[in-house]
Amino acid sequence: MSLPLEGIRVADFSHVMAGPFATHLLRLLGAEVIKIEAPGRGDTMRNYGADRRYDGMAPAFIAVNAGKKSLVLDLKQPLAQEAARRLIATCDVLVENFRPGVMAKFGLDYASVRELRPELIYCSISGYGQNGPRRDWPAIDNIVQATTGMMTLGGTAGDAPTKVGFPVVDTLTGQTAAFAILAALLRRQRERRGEYIDVAMFDASMAFMTSAIVPYLVTGNPPERTGNIGYSGQPTSAVFTASDGRQISLGVVQQAQFETLAREVGREQWLRDPRFLTPDLRRKHSAEMRLELDRVFHEAPAAQWESRLSAAGIPCGMVRDVTEAVSLPALEARRLKLGLRIPGLPEREQVEIVNAGFLFSEDQPGVNIAPPRIGEHSEDILGSLGFNPTEIEALRSR
């Protein structure tokens, strides 16, 4: 088995979600990731959530730290800073998500360490970037959802702003960082030089929202809140209620799809109705079109519509909650779940995490090693960096 990033070593100075998700993706592709944690409780995410039985190995921590190694260093101490420098000299990539300027206080900013490893790919993740008027403003996921306008895009006109129901900014920022790191590694292979990468949660979110932002930049018309109607604005791209009370999302946006839908549900008269002949006419007569579709979907349960219409080439899917979605057979077929055994975990030691979200033709991404206990690998890593037992004990006792 050979994964693309085997042989790549990553010094991970990040915590909570955005940075750890970036390095998690690198780990799924075979990189060795050494997680540097502060003494005591380590990464805040280790104790995230209300169930104190999981402290040290919280589910949110498990999600993005499997297979990493943990090295505890008190970076305020000179000896720990020296240990960090020795580690960096052995690494291909460094990722950090402290507030701008913090790594410089430790003498570990890019300017200070690039001589240790000229080909180092150094990635800084922050709320608003390493320069600009908001450089020093603190930011977390829900704050950036607010400041980018993301909270105002969902729902319908007049609704209160609402955040996305999971830390979408953190995860999309981590994915953006991983993408940038891979690009820099590719160029390093060609040009033998390092790179400094500045990833801002705000910037990554704006890029992620391009389908909402660019139409405004082009036309000057602000985006409308359309609820569950699709990006096309078509009444045939919306959510409907089936006979069993379950909801189904329909995604008919092309004329050929509409014609197939009409024939599949036995409503060929729609194809002759002057109100429904074209997408523009269907938008103009949206209420009438939706009323027709409401009547159709009340004829059968949601699961039946999902399988029947999908088989006919019509985009549609039953609205599920997360517990239902993760139980679908497709997750097994697509290798989306990875099994891990984590000794000492309450309730059950055998758990699952989510894989990278894509497949190779062979040698699939993944990891089967549990997340590290805090400082689990400190002694081995420090020894490999040339520290003697006395120095290792001094570093561990901080």
> Known catalytic residues?
170
- Rounded CA separation 90/116 (Å): 9
Asked whether 355 and 368 are in contact (CB, 8 A), the reply is no
Phi, psi of 223, rounded to the nearest 5 degrees: -65, 145
- Rounded CA separation 282/255 (Å): 11
Count the neighbouring beta carbons within 10 Å of the beta carbon of residue 236. 28
- Rounded CA separation 295/301 (Å): 12
Q: How far is C-alpha 61 from the geometric centre of its chain's CA atoms?
A: 14
**Helix axis angle, 255-264 relative to 302-311, nearest 10°?**
120
- Provide CB contacts within 8 A for 79, sequence distance 6+: 391, 394, 395
Phi, psi of 384, rounded to the nearest 5 degrees: -70, -20
Question: Got the DSSP string for 122-189?
Answer: EEEEESS-SSSTTTT----HHHHHHHTSGGGTSSBTTPPP---SS-HHHHHHHHHHHHHHHHHHHHHH
The residue whose two tokens read 């991404």 is 365
